[in-house]
Structure 1
Amino acid sequence: MSQSKSDRGSETRELILVTAERLFAEHGVEAVSNRQVSEAAGQSNNFAVGYHFGSKEELVVAIVRRHSESVERRRTEMLAEIAGSPDLRDWMSCLVRPATEHLASLGIPSWYARFIAQVTTHPALRERVRKESFTSRSMQQAHEGMFRLIPRLPEDVRQERNDMGRMLVVHMCAERERALHEGTAPPHSTWESTTDSLVDALVGLWLAPVTARR
C-alpha cells in the first residue's frame, strides 16, 4: 500500500528534525543554513525546511519540543513520588534526572545535549529556548519545592545561582554526551553517576554562603 501524502510529510518532518539537531550540535546554528539541512536530509527541494517549519527559529523550537514531552513526563512522575519531601537532594534530582534519563534513553551517539548547549548560548535564540525548556509547570514546581528548603537569598543572588545551575547542567550534559560519542568517557562513568555529581554540585551551589556585597 502506498504512503499517503500526510505520512510522507510526517516522515520528512522527522528526518529534517533529526538531521538539523545533529548539524546544529556539531557546527552551531549560525554555521548551518536551511539549504544545508535540506540537502543533508536527502531532500531534493532545497526549501524543504521553510516549507515544513517556516524559519530556522521555528525549526529549533520544534527540535526542543520533540524531546520536551519525555522530559516533562519523567519530571511530573518524580514530583508525584517526592511530594512534600524534606530532602533538598530530592528536589535537585527533579531538576536534573528527567533530562539525564531522557539523554540516556537516546543511546549512543545522541546529539540533543550538545544541541541545547549551542542554542542556549545563541544571542537570538537563547530566550526562546529558555522559555521552552526551563519554564514548564513541572520545572516551576521543582523550584518551588527547592526554595522551601534553602536559606532565603537576595533576589539578584537567587537569579544568579539559577543561571549558574542551568549552565552547569546544560554544559556538563553536553560534555558527557560528547565523551560518550568520542569514546573518551571514563570506563565506569554513566549517566547515573553524572546525575549524582550534578545533584551534589547543585546542592552545594544553593547552600553556599553569600559574600556581603556593597
Structure 2
Amino acid sequence: MTTSDGSVARDDRAQATRDAILSTAERLFAERGVYNVSNRQISEAAGQGNNAAVHYHFGTKHDLIAALVDRHLTAQRRRRATYVAQLGANPTLRDWVACVVLPVTDHLAELGRPTWQARFKAQLVTDPTLQAVLDDTNALDAALQTTIDGVHRCVTHLPAPVRAERADITKHLMVHMAADRERAIARDLPTPRATWREAAEGLIDAIVGIWEAPVSDAAQPRG
C-alpha cells in the first residue's frame, strides 16, 4: 500500500512536534529541575496550543523522561560500539576508560551550543526512581558492558567491593563534571579545558588515577 502525501505530511508534523517537546523539556528540566516543571509548562514553552500535547505524544512525565534518555543514549551506544571495535589486541586500562568517557563527550560536542543534556542527566543519577530509567537504557548497551568488563580485568587485584565502589565514583565523576562544564559554558564562564575533547582527556586521566590508586588498610573490606 502506498502512503499518501497527506499521511506523510502528518507524520512529519507529528515528529516535528515530538522533537520540539523533547528539546523544550530537556531545557526546562536542566534549568529548573525535573520536579519543578509540569507537562503543561512544557507544552506551552514548546509552542503547542494544546496543553495536553506532552501527554498525547508521550504519555506520563516518566515516559517523557525515558524518551529523552533514549534520545541521547542511543547515539552514545553507537559511538561506544565503534570505539570498542577499534581497540587493539591488548587494551590498557586507559583504553577501556576512554571507551566509557569519549562517547559521552563526543556526543555533547556534536550537539553544539547550548546543550542541556548533561545537566538533565545529572538530576537522574541522584533520584532512585529516575536512576532506574538510566539503568534500563544502559542495560541495552552491549559495548558498555564489554567496556566495564574490560576495566575490571585490568584491576583484578582490587577486591570486588572496592571495584564496585570505584565504578560508582567513576559514574558520578563523569556525570557531574560534564554537567558542571555544560553549566559553565551556558553561562559564558571560563572552563579548565577549551574543548570537550580536551575535557575528556583530563577526565580519563583522573578516572584512570582513581582505578590505579592503592587501597589503604582502612578501606580494605572486612570479612
TM-score normalised according to structure 1 size: 0.93
How many residue pairs get aligned? The number is 214
Deviations 1:76-96 (A, max 9, x none): 111111143332111110000
Residue 15 of structure 2 corresponds to residue 23 of structure 1? no
The corresponding residue for 1:53 is: 58
Give the Å deviation of 1:151: 3.5
| Cα distance between partner residues in 2 of 1:134 and 1:28 | 25
Aligned pairs for 1:2-17 within 5 A: 4-17=9-22
Aligned pairs for 1:114-153 within 5 A: 114-133=119-138, 136-153=141-158
| Cα distance between partner residues in 2 of 1:89 and 1:154 | 20
| Cα distance between partner residues in 2 of 1:172 and 1:133 | 19
| Cα distance between partner residues in 2 of 1:128 and 1:153 | 30
Query: Is 1:64–1:133's contact at 8 Å kept on the other side of the alignment?
Result: no
Secondary structure of 2:209 counterpart: helix
Give the Å deviation of 1:130: 2.7
Structure 2: which 5+ runs fail to align?
A: none
Secondary structure of 1:110 counterpart: coil
| Cα distance between partner residues in 2 of 1:138 and 1:39 | 39
| Cα distance between partner residues in 1 of 2:12 and 2:140 | 32
Structure 1: which 5+ runs fail to align?
A: none
The corresponding residue for 2:90 is: 85
| Cα distance between partner residues in 2 of 1:61 and 1:206 | 31
Aligned pairs for 1:1-214 within 5 A: 4-133=9-138, 136-186=141-191, 189-212=194-217, 213=220, 214=222
Secondary structure of 1:35 counterpart: helix
| Cα distance between partner residues in 1 of 2:98 and 2:157 | 20
Query: Is 1:120–1:130's contact at 8 Å kept on the other side of the alignment?
Result: no
- Structure 1: 4+ residue segments shifted above 3 A: none
Which 10-residue stretch deviates more, 153-162 or 16-25?
153-162
1:135/1:185 Cα in 2 relative to 1: closer, same or farther (>3 Å)?
A: farther
Amino acid at match of 1:16: I
Give the Å deviation of 1:168: 0.2
Give the Å deviation of 1:154: 2.4
Amino acid at match of 1:174: A
| Cα distance between partner residues in 2 of 1:114 and 1:133 | 18
| Cα distance between partner residues in 2 of 1:33 and 1:47 | 11
